Amino acid sequence: MTVRYRQPGVVLTDHRFTVPLDHADPDGETIELFAREAVASDRADAGDLPWLVYLQGGPGFGADRFVGRQSWLGRALREFRVLLLDQRGTGASTPANRQTLPLRGGPEQQADHLTRFRADSIVRDCELIRRRLTGGAPWTVLGQSFGGFCTVTYLSLAPEGLDTALITGGLPSLDAHADDVYRAAYPRIERKVRAHYARYPMDVERARRIAGHLLEHEVVLPNGYRLTVEAFQSLGALLGRREGSHRLHYLLEDAFVRTPGGIRLSDAFQEEVQGLLSYAGHPLYAVLHEAIYAQDARPTAWAAERVRAEFPQFDAAKALAGDGPLLFTGESVHPWMFDCDPALRPLRETAELLAARTDWRPLYDPARLAANEVPVAAAVYHDDLYVDTAHSLRTARAIRGLRTWVTDEFEHDGVRTDGPRVLDRLLALARGEA
């Protein structure tokens, strides 16, 4: 069933596709995928437009919900018919969350179920959809962040389905264990935090004061989230976005209010913080985050939490006992999140089982990537908070013909904040025009 409607300058068509839950068992259980087709209104009936499929960052996020020709979409619509795919388990596709996963059974059954929600399954979903929409013609893929990881998996598993591959902030290491990812991440996070404090020196004392309050008081946000000092530190994930440092600064400046019971964190502060920290809208991000780095018999075993212990400067209590700044953390998932967040609490045992799993399949094929024939261009953001630049460049050298654009003009969200320019540059690189 398809539904067609209009927004300014765009004709949209909603598609729903039935795909196997397990592509190794094509006649078994199925799930539903949602995807929104977008085409420029003056080309809506053109039959010769090539397709571009957008793979969202994550894992666990549905595709962007644009209004009209926002961001990179307007540039893409000048020459493509665009498909905005809600990857399995996200958005309007068959959901996978605390409400639906108990339908699978207990934690063991839930964990087994979720092993089918990684990049390899997403790529095979794309291939089924592509054949239904394009009549078999290859298409262009634009992969942002985790979507870029999926794109490298696509080049490994089904390059025949690709005309061109465009990657923004999403070139993964082909062989790094999750431990390696976080050993590279924590020093990068520290640099970002110190750069924030250099920009806003008044935030040093503000952050220390909030952290001290949280160490002394139990704070439960309106949605039931337990705001611990570690949870507060995780707001450093903002520092990987273009406006993130400024947003963090404004968040910190009015955190407290005087009440009859004494100084407390204000309702306004708590409301904004719960919106930033809650995983209610994207639980797969927390449950599967470290699994995106798993490719062999080694368990991820809560890598971010274990590796953090190697960097004692992130210990809030130690920082507050001295006169140094409190260090925020970045894009990492920790077991305490499954205690703090009511959207994750029912999934704690499921997440533990996934963290202990030792039968992960490889997501990348180095030999096939070395023989790649698909035009590939990748934007690598210098000192990207979320994806290690050195890892990305090593992978770029391992994919035959890949052209990189290494830039410090953007943070991790460059394709969202200056999408037309980023997409222009990548298309020019892929086509040999730059």
One of 93, 121, 145, 392 is an active-site residue; which one?
Answer: 145
Reference 92, options 65, 114, 54; nearest CA is: 65
Residues 81-104 as b or e (16 or more Cβ within 10 Å = b): bbbbbbbbbbbbbbbbbbeebeeb
Burial 192-204 (b: 16+ CB within 10 A, else e): bbeebbeebeebb
- Kindly list the distances between the CA atom of residue 179 and the CA atoms of 91, 302, 304, in Å, as whole numbers in the listed order: 30, 9, 7
412 is catalytic: yes
Active-site residue, 196 included: no
Closest to 165 in 3D by CA, of 184, 149, 187, 189 = 149
Which of 177, 334, 391, 412 is labelled catalytic? 412
Instruction: From 99, 95, 31, select the one nearest 60 (Cα to Cα).
Output: 95
Active-site annotation holds for 14: no
Q: Are 420 and 74 in contact (CB under 8 A)?
A: yes
Using DSSP, state whether 298 is helix, strand or coil.
coil
Q: Which of 7, 61, 433 lies closest to 284 in space, CA to CA?
A: 61
In angstroms, the Cα distances linking 63 to 153, 172, 414, 430 are 19, 20, 16, 24
Maximum Cα interatomic distance, the chain, rounded to a whole number of Å? 69
Which of 81, 153, 68 lies closest to 363 in space, CA to CA?
153
Active site amino acids = 145, 359, 412
